[in-house]
Structure formats: C-alpha cells, structure tokens
Amino acid sequence: MSKHIALGVDIGGTGIKAAPVNLKTGEFVAERYRVLTPQPATPDAVGKAVAQVVAKFEPSKKTPIGITFPGVVQHGVVKFAPNVDQSWIGVNVDDVMRDYVGRTVHTINDADAAGYGEYMYGAAHGRDGVVFLATLGTGIGTAIIVEGEVMPNSELGHLIIDGHDAEQYMAESARERHDLSWGQWAKHLQKYFSEVEKLLWPDLIIVGGGVSKEHEKFLPKLTLRTPIVPAELLNGAGIVGAAASAAHAQARARAAAKKSSKKASKKPE
C-alpha cells in the first residue's frame, strides 16, 4: 500500500468491516470486506476476526491500521462495552489487537471515529472550533472534535433529559418503539440538542446514523442557534475515521520521537 493509504477496521455488533482508505480523499481504494461479529464477541474471538479482515488486504508494515471499538476505551483499557461480550471489561484492547494482528494498531471509540471521519472528509471538513456529532440509532453515540482533535469517550447520549436517559426518547430506536411521528420525535430532539448547546456551545452539530438519510423529515423542525447538518459518510464513517485517526496518531508519534531525539542530541556531554 502507498504512503497515502491507511487501513480502517470497524467492529460492530453484527459485523466487522475493513477497507483501505485514501488519506487524501477519504475514499475506499478497494471494496469493503466484512465478516460476521462472532457470538459471543469475546476478546479472543473478536481478535481473530479482526486479524482475518486485516489479512485480506495484506497491509505493509508502514501502513497505519485503525480499529474502532464499540465502547469506552480509556488508555487502551475497555471500561464499558454494551454491544460485545462483557469479558472485555478491564481488558487492554490495544494489546489484544496487537497480539492477533501481529503489529501495533490504533484503537478508537466507534463514535469518535465517525466524528473524526466527518471532520476530515465529511460534513465538518474545514470547520474550526467545536464540532459535535450524534449518531441516532439503537442508542446515541456522540463525538466531540475540538480544533481537529478528538475528545475521547464523550458518551453524551446518556444526558438526563426530563428525568430520562436521552437514549430512551431521542434514539432512532425510541422513535420506532414509542411509535412517534417525525414531529413528535423532533420535539424530543429539540430538548436534547438544546441541552448540548448549553453545555458545549458547539460551532457545528452533525447528525449521523441511518436515519440521517431522512434528515429532511426532522432537522428542519429544529430551532437551534448552532448549524445542524446530516452526516455525509454514512456507513463508511467508522472505517474512514479509524484509518485517518491511525495515520494522525502515527504522525504525532513520529514527531514526538523526532523532537525527543533533537533534545537528547543537544544535551551537554
């Protein structure tokens, strides 16, 4: 793979998908490859599946590899993971993936990856300041990007609105479960995004998830001071964001090593 290519892997509740990404355009350079997420989705089972999708593309040793994880990952350790086996809790996901893939990889929360992908190549491309992304699906995944850097594990889908966890009425699944009209659902979203505005004062809000394809049915019903737009990368956001984030992390590590080397060479003997 060329130096402008990174490999992105997206671990989902039902499927694990991978594709090489052109870092200049954010586009896939080969057809996405998908395998079923193993059940139960234990660390060993998921590690083997990730190794399988990575091997499909035979990345070079210099190719950055980014992997999304559907849960909270703090300093590499899984703290919360509702959509995979609970044996992940307390496990270092970086170590698991390195052992199975056979090299160092970069892991990132799945919503954070989607947000970074939108910042780099999608709806937030070229935007400065604070960008907030909310994916409305089974639950609410959120990401905050500040001046191009991801603030990890925001989990603002669990804000308490009118005494309820936001996901109970604001997620796409809640609209279907409660049989809400688009107008009724929009009223719930209005409360949620108004609260986000008060807390973060974002410069842009992006709405992702499958329902974003029908954004014209609910976004125009919202009255916010912040511009709110649909996501552009859709199902590819996780892969693209993971790949771009891995490349960014690799570049920062090289810059830090170079800086450290310069400082060491300047020390008096």
- Sign of the Cα torsion 209, 213, 218, 223 reads positive
266 part of a folded domain: no
> Do 67 and 23 share a domain, yes or no?
yes
> Do 201 and 150 share a domain, yes or no?
yes
> Do 163 and 218 share a domain, yes or no?
yes
263 part of a folded domain: no
> Do 221 and 147 share a domain, yes or no?
yes
Residue 147 backbone zone (phi > 0: left; psi -120 to 50: alpha; other: beta): left
264 part of a folded domain: no
- Give the start-end residues of each E strand in the chain: 5-11, 15-22, 33-36, 65-69, 72-74, 77-80, 106-109, 130-136, 140-146, 149-151, 160-161, 164-165, 204-208, 228-230
> Do 36 and 67 share a domain, yes or no?
yes
Q: What kind and span of H or E run contains 192?
A: helix 182-200
> Do 221 and 245 share a domain, yes or no?
no
Q: Any idea what the CATH number is for the domain that residue 25 is in?
A: 3.30.420.40
Whole-number pLDDT of residue 1? 60
> Do 19 and 95 share a domain, yes or no?
yes
pLDDT along the chain (269 residues), means of 10: 88 94 97 96 97 97 95 93 92 96 95 97 94 94 95 94 94 94 97 97 96 96 98 94 95 78 67
64 part of a folded domain: yes
119 part of a folded domain: no
CB burial readout 167-199, b (16+ within 10 A) else e: bbbbbbbbbeeeeeeeeebbebbbebbbebbee
> Do 18 and 81 share a domain, yes or no?
yes
> Do 209 and 243 share a domain, yes or no?
no
Domain, as residue range, for 100: 5-112+235-253
135 part of a folded domain: yes
> Do 105 and 141 share a domain, yes or no?
no
> Do 132 and 91 share a domain, yes or no?
no
pTM of the predicted model as reported, rounded to 2 decimal places: 0.91
Determine how many CB atoms are found less than 10 A away from the CB of residue 77.
Answer: 15
Whole-number pLDDT of residue 243? 98
Three-state SS for 224? coil
Cα 234 to Cα 23: distance, rounded to the nearest angstrom: 17
Three-state SS for 230? strand
92 part of a folded domain: yes
Determine how many CB atoms are found less than 10 A away from the CB of residue 109.
Answer: 26
Cα 209 to Cα 228: distance, rounded to the nearest angstrom: 14
Whole-number pLDDT of residue 234? 87
> Do 84 and 147 share a domain, yes or no?
no
120 part of a folded domain: no
The domain total for the chain is: 2
Rg (CA), the chain: 19
- What are the backbone angles phi and psi of residue 253, rounded to the nearest 5°? -65, -40
- What are the backbone angles phi and psi of residue 229, rounded to the nearest 5°? -135, 160
